Amino acid sequence: MTRTGEWYDAGMKQNKGFTLVEILVVIAIIGILSSIVLASMGGARAKGRDTKRISDVKQLQLALQLYYDGHDSKYPQDIDSLTDDNFISSIPLDPLSPDQDYVYAPTSCSSSLCTTYSLTAELETTGSVYDGDPDCSDVDTYCVTP
């Protein structure tokens, strides 16, 4: 007979836990899957930073156009003039390395104003989100001109 009125087999032992080997196998599988996911996210993060850079360049391009309209069809020699005259609240910084600036190169300048410019940003991915101006020859940069 059994202790509670049921049949009891003394030779049958019920295991209700996991063995150490089973736990180690599960941990190894989780580790492999998480490393695959993290490796694939690295490219997505780089593309996201490139999209931010392109957005920043377009924001600067808009501020330069506002400056152009307010200063007798001329562009500034220095990009910091945009914040001095309140055409933009602050100059955007690169998302990966804030000490690296976007390159503003005014051309055809006389006195303190210029008639054209080139604005470029270094991208992390080649053939990235948008190629920008067709005059920009480097595939790792995004550049705009008026």
Measured on CA atoms in the order 104, 105, 110, 114, is the torsion positive or negative? Answer: negative
Select the highest-mean-pLDDT range: 23-27, 34-38, 44-48, 71-75: 23-27
User: DSSP letters along 109-146, please?
Assistant: EETTEEEEEEEEEE-SSTT-S----TT---TTEEEE--
**Share of residues in the chain with pLDDT > 70 (%):** 80
Q: What is the pLDDT of residue 130?
A: 53
Structure tokens at 145: 């001109």
Task: State the pTM of this model.
Answer: 0.69
Express each pLDDT in 57-81 by its tens digit.
999 999 999 999 988 888 988 888 8
* For range 24-40, the mean pLDDT: 92
Contacts made by residues 57-60, CB under 8 angstroms, sequence distance 24+: 57/102, 57/119, 57/120, 57/121, 57/132, 57/142, 57/143, 57/144, 58/144, 59/88, 59/92, 60/88, 60/91, 60/92, 60/102, 60/104, 60/119
